[in-house]
Structure 1
Amino acid sequence: MALGYSNAVVDRLLQAGDVPGAVALVERHSASGNRDACFQLAMWLLVGSPITRDLPRAMLALNAAAKAGHGDAALMEVALVANGAGGSPDWPRALGLLRSAAEQGNAIARDHLALVEAMALDAAGDPTHLPHVEVLNDSPRIFRLPKLLTPAECEHLALSAADLLRPALVFDPATNRMVHHPVRTSDNAVIGPTRESLVVQAILRRVAAATGTDVGQGEQLSLLRYSPGQQYRPHLDAITGSANQRIKTVLLYLNEGFVGGETRFEQLGIDVVARGGDALVFDNVLEDGRPDPRSRHAGLPVRAGAKWVATRWIRAAPYSPWSPN
């Protein structure tokens, strides 16, 4: 392994405005096999700053870091191989990488592998069976999947991005940006592609199978935490004027035991009480693709305890987190 590399030195060069010097340092040491330099290069290539995004090259750098013993790189490589960053999704290869990392002593990889092996999956990572559907409304179609997730899977989702929780944002179609708005007062985090563990991706494949959609149609999973007094006021999930509309919403309830927090469809007179492990699925659009006003819903205020939920918005066509617009 090459000597003389330091992330602190790279940070100082960037802070001093010497981007070419920082890039040259990382490139030189990554070429020599330094695992930290390889990982730094991979992150830059994934983010697209301070160098241009290049997903295939990022995957090569990530693989080099993982082979050199970088634990976080190994887990990230598993996630990105499975969800197809820089190529096509490859569940078998990703599973093999996870097993290899677990065998090499990566404790997190061992935990992930245990959860995956407890699931009923086929060779492609898709579920072999689903829970019985409970239809709550025919038009718009609203149904519940009782106990779609196990308690351990709920905990995994909650922990996948808990460290990123911040005051939630909403989509502003006027600016095409996420902004703060009083309609939504929860804390929110997004489980991005690099955090989509094989456990997360198996759950996403389960959601796709349950909704009759392709896993590639889903937006990144959004994790929400509602503390007492927090709520999501009545709103539509469909985006006005979107060329790739949110046709369905999936709410994954991750816990129970709190007070309040029901999902209310006011026009339909339906209140859904959250139960840990359940999934709630509903359509957002009419047959002609226009937003369905009847799907307007709210997350009622939590009165005691904390409500944890993960949201998966499903688009009409494939959606890429690398170029969401």
Structure 2
Amino acid sequence: MVFPNFVDKARREEVIALATKFMYPSGLAYRPGETVDANQQVRTSKGTFLNGDSSPALKWLENKIAAATFLPSGNGEFWNILNYKYTQHYDSHMDSFDPKEYGAQYSQRIATVIVVLSDDGLTGGETVFKREGKGNENKPISNWTDCDADGGLKYKPRAGDAVLFWSALPDGNLDPHALHGSCPVVTGNKWVAVKWLRNKGEYNH
């Protein structure tokens, strides 16, 4: 679901200005037993984590997301502010943590909101959902990086938009359609603020 003009330019600029002070290479969530790879090419953006209380704009956004999703702001993780430049991308992945791979979860990610802060001169950088569509939940993926492989649905970032998708079904089972990735940036600069929402507040980070 796309919410056009979800946030105004002044608040977007406020978040970018704050995040710029704290950026570092983005990391991954590793499965138990996996080794951290400092040279991984799965996720190549830069980013930072910010508490909603660190900025009036972020607090305002948290309240608006709570109103749009009907999930309390306390169910949200810290903001992940991300910047993608030339060739930077995030291979297709799930935001949720499958207990079969990650072990039992006290609290599960059930929804994601991506707020587009800037699309300055941007080509590429779409968000792709390779398994979107009826009957595609188990579709084989031939290329996790290339957004033109395997078909699916692509959303072109537009500054001010918010994109909401659900990682879990009403019965609590994870939804394979939530597989998504950030396509490589061809030109320009992409800034987004990501909010992961859990089924329980006060979860263990």
Instruction: Give TM class, smaller chain.
Output: 0.7 to 0.9
- Supply the AA of the counterpart residue of 1:217: N
**1:200 corresponding residue in structure 2:** 58
Gaps of at least 5 residues in structure 2 are 100-104, 133-151
Structure 1 residue aligned with 2:44 = 185
Paired residue for 1:299? 182
1:249-296 deviation line (CA, Å, top 9, x unaligned)? 000001123110000001122110100000000000123322211110
2:162 counterpart of 1:279? yes
RMSD, aligned CA: 2.0
With over 3 angstroms needed to count, the CA separation of the structure-2 counterparts of 1:148 and 1:289, relative to structure 1, is: same
How far did residue 152 of structure 1 move? 0.6
Which amino acid in the other structure matches residue 168 of structure 1? S
Out of 310, 319, 323, which is 2:193 matched to? 310
Secondary structure (helix, strand or coil) at the match of 2:29 reads strand
Identity of aligned residues (%): 31
Q: Equivalences for 1:136-215 in 2 at 5 Å?
A: 143-174=1-32, 180=38, 181-192=40-51, 196-215=54-73
> 2-side partners of 1:182 and 1:287: how far apart?
34
Length, aligned pairs only: 179
How far apart, in 2, do the equivalents of 1:207 and 1:222 lie?
15
Pairwise CA distance, 1:233: 0.5
Instruction: Sort the Cα spacing of 1:301 and 1:176 in 2 relative to 1 into closer, same or farther, 3 A.
Output: same
Structure 2: which amino acid aligns with 1:147? N
**In structure 2, what residue type is equivalent to 1:152?**
A
Residue aligning to 1:240:
98
Q: CA deviation at 1:192?
A: 3.0
What is the alpha-carbon distance in structure 2 between the residues aligned to residue 236 and residue 316 of structure 1? 16
Residues 1-325 of structure 1: pairs in structure 2 closer than 5 A = 143-174=1-32, 180=38, 181-192=40-51, 196-241=54-99, 242-256=105-119, 257-268=121-132, 269-319=152-202, 324-325=204-205
Post-superposition shift, 1:156? 1.0
Gaps of 5+ in 1: 1-142
Contact 2:51 2:78 (8 Å CA) reproduced = yes
In 2, are the aligned partners of 1:160 and 1:191 still within 8 Å (CA)? no
Which runs of 4 or more aligned residues in structure 1 lie more than 4 Å from their structure 2 counterparts after TM superposition? Answer: 175-180
Q: 1:146 to 1:178 in 2, by over 3 A?
A: farther
Counterpart Cα distance in 2 of 1:215 and 1:221: 11
Normalized per residue, which structure has more strand?
2
Q: Deviations over 1:83-118 (max 9, x none)?
A: xxxxxxxxxxxxxxxxxxxxxxxxxxxxxxxxxxxx
Larger Rg, first or second structure (1 or 2): 1
C-alpha contact 2:89 2:184 (8 A) present in aligned 1: yes
Task: State the one-letter code of the partner of 2:49.
Answer: V
- If asked which structure has higher relative contact order (CA below 8 Å, sep 6+), I would say 2
1:177, distance to aligned residue in structure 2 (A)? 10
Once the 2 structures are TM-superposed, how far is the Cα of residue 311 of structure 1 from its aligned partner? Answer: 0.3
| Whole-Å separation in 1 of the counterparts to 2:173 and 2:86 | 35
Mapped to 2, the partners of 1:274 and 1:315 lie a distance apart of: 24
1:172–1:179 contact (8 Å) kept in structure 2: no
